[in-house]
């Protein structure tokens, strides 16, 4: 496993342990009952991870009630051969805040419609390689 994959699994384990987010298994695979919470009906499925870097992405088309984790899978030569995509649902009354990369109350959250301006700028789950080597 490469570092990104390891980091990602650690992150997923952490999220599952603290129970902050309801887990989804794959792209737009939402927990039962999700439709009772979502403003946008039916769910807008346009968001795509293809060509995106590893990171957390608020789903603007779904009022940021959903967010996605994209994880490019590279071969030994560093070529992207696939991109994993997981979708998560924020708790009732919260949306994905692209500034803190967490589900937050709407009134406290970075504006959903501007989320794209922060895509790729706030890092989480990436290790500083130099720092890591010193540990």
The residue ranges that bind ligand NAG (CB under 6 A) are 36-37, 92-93
If the CB atoms of residues 34 and 122 are measured against ligand NAG, the closer one turns out to be 34
What is the helix (H) or strand (E) element at residue 57, kind and residue range?
Answer: strand 55-58
How far is 135 from 119, CA to CA, in rounded Å? 30
If the CB atoms of residues 17 and 39 are measured against ligand NAG, the closer one turns out to be 39
If the CB atoms of residues 93 and 120 are measured against ligand NAG, the closer one turns out to be 93
If the CB atoms of residues 15 and 37 are measured against ligand NAG, the closer one turns out to be 37
Q: CB 22 → ligand NAG: shortest distance, Å?
A: 12
How far is 57 from 117, CA to CA, in rounded Å? 11
How far is 89 from 96, CA to CA, in rounded Å? 9
Q: CB 33 → ligand NAG: shortest distance, Å?
A: 7
Tokens representing residue 15 in the block: 């999220």
How far is 105 from 102, CA to CA, in rounded Å? 10
In this structure, what DSSP letter does residue 66 have?
E
Q: CB 93 → ligand NAG: shortest distance, Å?
A: 5
Q: CB 19 → ligand NAG: shortest distance, Å?
A: 17
Phi, psi of 123, rounded to the nearest 5 degrees? -100, 145
């Amino acid at each position: 496993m490469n570092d990104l994959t390891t980091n990602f699994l650690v992150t997923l384990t952490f999220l599952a342990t603290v129970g902050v987010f309801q887990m989804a298994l794959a792209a737009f695979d939402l927990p039962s009952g999700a439709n009772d919470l979502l403003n946008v009906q039916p769910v807008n499925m346009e968001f795509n991870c293809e060509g995106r870097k590893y990171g957390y992405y608020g789903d603007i088309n779904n009022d940021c009630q959903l967010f996605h984790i994209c994880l490019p899978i590279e071969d030994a030569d560093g070529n992207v051969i696939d991109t994993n995509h997981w979708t998560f649902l924020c708790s009732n009354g919260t949306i994905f805040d692209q500034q803190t990369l967490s589900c937050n109350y709407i009134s406290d959250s970075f504006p959903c419609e501007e989320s794209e301006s922060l895509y790729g700028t706030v890092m989480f789950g990436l290790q500083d390689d130099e720092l890591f080597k010193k540990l």
